[in-house]
Amino acid sequence: MSPSESLIFPAAIYRERRSELAKRIRAQSGGGIVILTTAQEQFRNRDSDFPYRHDSDFFYLTGFEEPGATLVLQVDRHSAIAHLFCRPKDPEREIWDGMRLGPEAAPEYLGVEHAYPNTELDHELPKLLSDQTALYVRLASSAETDRRLRHWIDRVRGQARAGVNAPTEFRDIEALVHEMRLFKEPSEIETMRRAAAISAKAHLRAMRTCRPGQREYHIEAELLHAFRHSGAQSVAYNSIVAAGANACILHYRASAAELKSGDLCLIDAGCELDGYASDITRTFPINGKFSGPQRALYDITLAAQEAAVAATKPGNTFMQPHDAAVQVLTQGLLDEKLLSLHQLGSVDNAIETGAYRRFYMHRTSHWLGMDVHDVGSYREPGSSDANEKPWRTLQANMVLTIEPGLYIRPADDVSEAFWNIGIRIEDDAVVTDSGCELISRGVPVNADEIEAVMRAG
């Protein structure tokens, strides 16, 4: 980021979040001090680094995208003061790496109260930590963070005889910030809507351009083209483009396998736009027409997704959409004789014994936000006993994926007609006051509609 660009959201939004966080800190410990550092730059190989991606929690509270920054938030009974440590201006480095905001411009630009060059951290932190009781940090996050923290605290402890107290309570900052991040603000939902629309367009492009004889990487290139061409900064995660049997490998990547007529292609790909992820999966026939067995399993998966969508509403728990999907998938597996009714006796027993997991081994949903597997507890906050906590109740403005699938590996007791079929259908849902809104349906999901899109090319 440079002062010539703008923050993703107005500085007031980040200030509002810091103020909300301060409120929660007061409620928990009366006050305290937060230290939160952004992500480090990562080298890929000699002299070449990975594209930089800020830390999501840090970004949520500051809107600041540069590396080398630390936020210190000083919370007392009446005020919350933000101190930002950032890279100092450096004309020589800026020629090579681009503009730096610098501490002089930071207060006005970011709306923080104070800013310092990050070279001052070791000097300023012991002062800021003096006489603070509760210290909010990422607990046990990295050896380097722990080492620096210990250094600062040792410096404060060294002043004990001068009457200075060092922090005595170490608290987890992530739990508080992640609970806030679980509920999306209107501007966040709007950004996620745009991210999902770009990803849907990319999936459409992939369906339209897919031809037998291409390779998985050709499709990956189409996706990347569509993401970047629409202004998305990055993929939200590495794209999966899986031809034929590869679709049964859950964490497959786009590789070089040939797209063969008669096989399915599974694409799980989403862009990151302005720091927010989208996450879409579609599965389609490479030659444009589902075979009988492919269509049968596809329609079961889609019906499972529809059941899960219907169960995604406020008041239901996080697990209810999954349970609804499992019910439909398991019944479908029995209907298609992939599971034996004779052996299992009933759909309920096939679920209770976990027999269906052979073909459906992952959960139906995860939170979605700045991180593709976004933060926020999947259990209700409250009870201190993790085993006692019920699954999270869905509430308006939570965002989650709904992604049932079926994965049929070759086996003696499985009809050969189904071998190597892997199907997943994934959409992004915003919980509303009465149900949920799917924001990723800019690409069709119905089998007939997919075939029509592919025919039209």
Nearest CB to Mn ion, comparing residues 57 and 279: 279
Contact partner, 371, from ligand GLY, Mn ion, none, Cβ < 5-8 Å per class? none
* Minimum distance of Mn ion from residue 283's CB (angstroms): 12
Residue 335: both structure tokens together: 């209907």
Q: Let me know: does 370 contact 56? Beta carbons within 8 Å.
A: yes
Closest distance to ligand GLY from the beta carbon of 309 (Å): 16
178 assigned to active site: no
CA pair distance 433, 114, nearest whole angstrom: 40
If the CB atoms of residues 81 and 438 are measured against Mn ion, the closer one turns out to be 438
What six digits make up the tokens of 205?
């492009």
- Is 407 one of the annotated active-site residues of the chain? yes
Judged by CB, which is closer to ligand GLY: 357, or 373? 373
Q: Cα separation of 242 and 32, whole Å? A: 49
**218 counts as catalytic:** no
Among 115, 135, 372, 406, the residue binding ligand GLY under the rule CB under 6 A is 372
Residues in a beta bridge with 429? 400, 438
State how far the Cα of 274 lies from the Cα of 286, in Å rounded to an integer.
33
- Distance separating the N- and C-terminal Cα atoms of the chain: 39
Residue nearest to ligand GLY (CB): 268
Scanning residues 47 to 66, which ones bind ligand GLY (CB under 6 A)?
none
> Which of 47, 92, 385, 433 is the catalytic position?
47
- Annotation marks residue 268 as catalytic: yes
Residue 222 near which of Mn ion, ligand GLY, none (CB within 5-8 Å, type-dependent): none
* Closer residue to ligand GLY, CB minimum distance, 65 or 268: 268
DSSP code per residue over 127-140: HHHTT--EEEE-TT
Q: Does 358 participate in catalysis according to the annotation?
A: no
**For residues 226 and 256, what is the distance between their CA atoms, to the nearest angstrom?**
20
- Cβ atoms 134, 25 nearer than 8 A: yes
- Per DSSP, 51 falls in state P
Q: Which residues contact 79 (CB under 8 A, 6 or more apart)?
A: none
Place of tokens 């949903």: 365
> How far is it, in rounded angstroms, from Cα 374 to Cα 4?
30
What is the residue whose two structure tokens read 């919980």?
431
Choose the contact partner of 237 out of Mn ion, ligand GLY, none; CB within 5 to 8 A by kind.
Answer: ligand GLY
- DSSP-H helix ranges across 230-314: 292-310
- Among candidate residues 124, 222, 274, 403, the one labeled active-site is 403
* Tokens 């006993």, residue located: 385
Count interface residues toward ligand GLY (CB under 6 A): 7
- Binding to ligand GLY in span 185-244, by CB under 6 A: 237
Report the residue from 216, 403, 427, 428 that binds ligand GLY according to the rule CB under 6 A.
403
- Joined tokens for residue 93: 């480095």
Could you confirm whether 194 is annotated as catalytic?
no
Q: Does 378 bind ligand GLY (CB under 6 A)?
A: no
Of 282, 424, 427, 451, the catalytic one is 424
Q: Which of 279, 336, 374, 428 is catalytic?
A: 279
Give contact residues for Mn ion (rule: CB under 5 A). 268, 279, 401, 426
Q: Which is nearer to Mn ion, 272 or 426 (CB)?
A: 426
- Look up residue 122 and give its DSSP letter: H
Nearer to ligand GLY, 188 or 403 (CB): 403
Could you list the residues that contact ligand GLY (CB under 6 A)?
Answer: 237, 268, 279, 366, 372, 403, 426
